[in-house]
Structure 1
């Protein structure tokens, strides 16, 4: 019964269309391409310059910080490093990798050889024919062929069949960034082959999904800065193609996409730290998306100038993403006082309500512990947990019911209590099943931050049965020393006050500094009762 309850608390948030297509998707047979009877005419597109990271050199592919060499034929189903690695292998980003210091650029001959190897093994390919990798591959193939002005009948027939397959298998069952990527790829394929039916469907889908997925403050609704960067970069590429193409004559689509891109760029500016980092919250990993600097430069070549950074990104009725980046001369404080993700698709969410990230003098001090894997197991479970974040865990439970690899059951709901120039206060009900509410308030001064945590229990909930632990994760580059009642971390001092003397322990942890990359650091484990006042002071 407990398992049934968990499933119900998960699926009850799905939209009707998702439920219908979940059933359809499970009943479908294995994906197979239907090659056209005659080779369709293709039309080269205006595409961006090759700017993907270098992931292919001398028959060695490196994805997620894991290199694999194929001296002979490429195994497109290679799965020893997990499904995400297999996905990356079949994205074909490396066709458009940048040339840096005479290294990395993909020649036309090398690229066509890789395309033919993929085509040769089509009947055996499994994960690579799923809609998401197919979407990214379609766009990458078209960009490569257009940039090198290559007309190859065999490749074009296969590419047409892939686009047809995608058109038949749009990911309505998942929605979210997958469905938006489907729309972008289908539109790119429609322009390349001048297929009006595909274009009309794709343009409608893109309009619908951008309207739904881009929040009023400009954030992508899955609330991962990494995925926000990836999607914004993809839309910038699409706009380059749309503006230069005269076949589609849909000027309203160009204006609509440009408007959404401007919103997304402005939001990205507001949550980018002064050193160029973005907070690695929810599913986000270093070196897995184009940087804010890269995106700003690309946008500068085709969009109006972004708005200047502000303390917050204003949306209707406040900040719809729930994220704030509050700036003082010596520090930048990123806070999370919003939903963990969209109700219908929280797959990339972590149970991190009220967590925060702190940079002092443009360097990371308190950090998110990060994401190193999407593979099921203890590490994935921990990285999504409340215990892995700079917030309060109660009775050893998660504030939102994250489970599996990408699922969430019960999720915390946040009520904003106060917001002014130097005060931010909110309350969440993630522990309401225990009869408990968690309230957190940040008070900002020029060289001091006070974090007030209060655990509010209903009368029938005995405080003696409540175990509260606040955690503070330091960047691995920060030396942390515990001296009496004070914690010293570089130029910062932390003190903790509570009704009963809190127990402060300094413990080791491994921070994810990229997929499959961990670096040892230290964190504070602070056990308290009822309330905790954390005073963070910059001393120099």
Structure 2
């Protein structure tokens, strides 16, 4: 950040630039004058988001050239105020800022605090939303800066509500996105610290949920230290955040076993980690009609020896055309397609018309062979999926081997395609006989073999283009497609055996 760079370098030209940027905003974008204006603006902008963005495809909303001022709406004033406060902190010893500059900046922070408070008091009821949680946490910071206990008390009321309502019973955020889970848990962490410092700590039940939420964050950690990606998510480097909880316990299953295994029974997410091998199964429930969600569930993330092999495609910028036209679609994820159709259907940018229903079993550990097993079952109301049940099982713990088993029960003839999204760094080659596929990523050389039960013949293998959002760029990748022709009603099971060596 520019302000941090100033603090490190002492370059007063940077200090003046930062001051000018903040004061320019303050002088050119005045806040709504009173509660009535705040309410009126809120209602207008909320309607525009609902009618002109969430339910419209990119081809429509990208042509909307209306000038819309969002500067004092929703999370904007809260996010901006926090950035300004951090900038002011880094500038605190600058000789370039005058007493008048500081007075104007302080008044600007006060204006932000008052607008956020009035929005929460007059425009909003508590509702599941990381945006509202951000505004609640911002009220704590506004009180710390401006000494207004009324703001802090409103923030405390709201952040307590969000801790008790935004999270499922196992500590997973209702939204189902690891990055949003980390984001909101960070907000709650800061609010809890500021509440304690103010002498009004959060209620015990809210703090207990915060502890659960932090433990869940540890479950998301991949071998590279970043969080796993799904549901409009992005990788988050967890090192600094988790270090702020040095005495925080892991999830019960993580703390008591080696390898580290974890299951969120309500969040329906499972992980397995041991010496650079990491598997993550996404059987997450549908969080709502307008939500951070993607189709293509029962999807698998798999790392071998610290190298990513199977990945989630991730999520681009929300205003990118490919956000709704690729990254949210089932075929962009390691899932199953029935006659080319995925398990969910989206209208516009955020409105889900259909979604799958999933269930997940607990981890099963067999002492005799030392193996760990888990399975999840998916159904969908999508037309092509009517009457079909798909169970994906994972078996881990055998040295240099992972077994993925897909069992399907179908009431009719259909073509089933199992999609595996490969990391862009993976080189893939299907064997000449079409019975196996080699996957190479750095020193890791893996091979996938298949065994089918319940149907004659063998699956058809193909490589298809895909796209993964990697390092903030849309990055070409490949998808391995494994297709089974089911000639009529029946049941079949396809085992994908992944074995590997390090060169």
- In the superposition, the TM-score normalised over structure 2's length comes to 0.76
Among candidates 433, 436, 452, match of residue 405 of structure 2: 452
Distance 2:322 2:107 in 1: 44
TM-aligned CA deviation for residue 333 of structure 1: 0.8
Where does residue 105 of structure 2 map in the other structure?
Answer: 155
Where does residue 402 of structure 1 map in the other structure?
Answer: 346
Q: Does 1:250 align with 2:250?
A: no
User: 1:274-327 CA distances to partner (integer Å, 9 max, x unpaired)?
Assistant: 3212211111224xx4x1112122334xxx34438453445xxx5222111112
Check 1:524–1:119 CA distance in 2 against 1; reply closer, same or farther (3 A cut).
same
Where does residue 264 of structure 1 map in the other structure?
Answer: 213
Q: What secondary structure, in the 3-state scheme, does the structure 2 residue paired with 1:320 have?
A: coil
Distance 1:227 1:277 in 2: 14
- In the superposition, the TM-score normalised over structure 1's length comes to 0.71
Where does residue 481 of structure 1 map in the other structure?
Answer: 429
User: 1:27-71 CA distances to partner (integer Å, 9 max, x unpaired)?
Assistant: xxxxxxxxxxxxxxxxxxxxxxxxxxx3x5xxxxxxxxxxxxxxx
Distance 2:323 2:157 in 1: 40
Where does residue 507 of structure 1 map in the other structure?
Answer: 464
Q: Does 1:142 align with 2:96?
A: no
Q: Does 1:436 align with 2:388?
A: yes
Q: Does 1:526 align with 2:482?
A: yes
User: Map of 1:210-359 to 2, 5 A cutoff?
Assistant: 210-243=163-196, 245=197, 248-253=198-203, 258-286=207-235, 289=236, 291-300=237-246, 304-307=247-250, 309-310=254-255, 311-313=260-262, 319-329=265-275, 331-340=277-286, 342-343=287-288, 347-359=291-303
User: Map of 1:79-94 to 2, 5 A cutoff?
Assistant: none
Check 1:260–1:106 CA distance in 2 against 1; reply closer, same or farther (3 A cut).
farther
TM-aligned CA deviation for residue 493 of structure 1: 0.7
Check 1:105–1:357 CA distance in 2 against 1; reply closer, same or farther (3 A cut).
farther
Among candidates 121, 128, 131, match of residue 71 of structure 2: 128
Check 1:524–1:294 CA distance in 2 against 1; reply closer, same or farther (3 A cut).
same
TM-aligned CA deviation for residue 388 of structure 1: 0.6
Distance 1:379 1:172 in 2: 30
Partners of 1:285 and 1:514 within 8 A in 2:
no
User: 1:397-420 CA distances to partner (integer Å, 9 max, x unpaired)?
Assistant: 331233322222322221235631
Where does residue 205 of structure 1 map in the other structure?
Answer: 158
Distance 1:258 1:380 in 2: 36
Where does residue 110 of structure 1 map in the other structure?
Answer: 17
Distance 1:128 1:326 in 2: 43
Where does residue 194 of structure 1 map in the other structure?
Answer: 147
Check 1:423–1:140 CA distance in 2 against 1; reply closer, same or farther (3 A cut).
same
Aligned residues: 426
TM-aligned CA deviation for residue 119 of structure 1: 1.1
Check 1:439–1:167 CA distance in 2 against 1; reply closer, same or farther (3 A cut).
same
- Which segments of 5 or more consecutive residues in structure 1 lack a partner in the other structure? 1-53, 57-94
Where does residue 416 of structure 2 map in the other structure?
Answer: 468
User: 1:194-222 CA distances to partner (integer Å, 9 max, x unpaired)?
Assistant: 22332222211110111111233332221
Distance 2:270 2:294 in 1: 17
Q: Does 1:423 align with 2:373?
A: yes
Partners of 1:376 and 1:405 within 8 A in 2:
no
Check 1:102–1:233 CA distance in 2 against 1; reply closer, same or farther (3 A cut).
farther
TM-aligned CA deviation for residue 125 of structure 1: 8.0
Which structure has more relative contact order (CA 8 Å, sep 6+)? It is 1
Partners of 2:268 and 2:359 within 8 A in 1:
no
Where does residue 312 of structure 2 map in the other structure?
Answer: 368
RMSD: 3.0
User: 1:322-348 CA distances to partner (integer Å, 9 max, x unpaired)?
Assistant: 1111124462111112214x23x6521
TM-aligned CA deviation for residue 495 of structure 1: 1.7
TM-aligned CA deviation for residue 431 of structure 1: 4.1
TM-aligned CA deviation for residue 108 of structure 1: 4.8
Where does residue 62 of structure 1 map in the other structure?
Answer: none
Distance 1:100 1:280 in 2: 33
Q: What secondary structure, in the 3-state scheme, does the structure 2 residue paired with 1:211 have?
A: helix
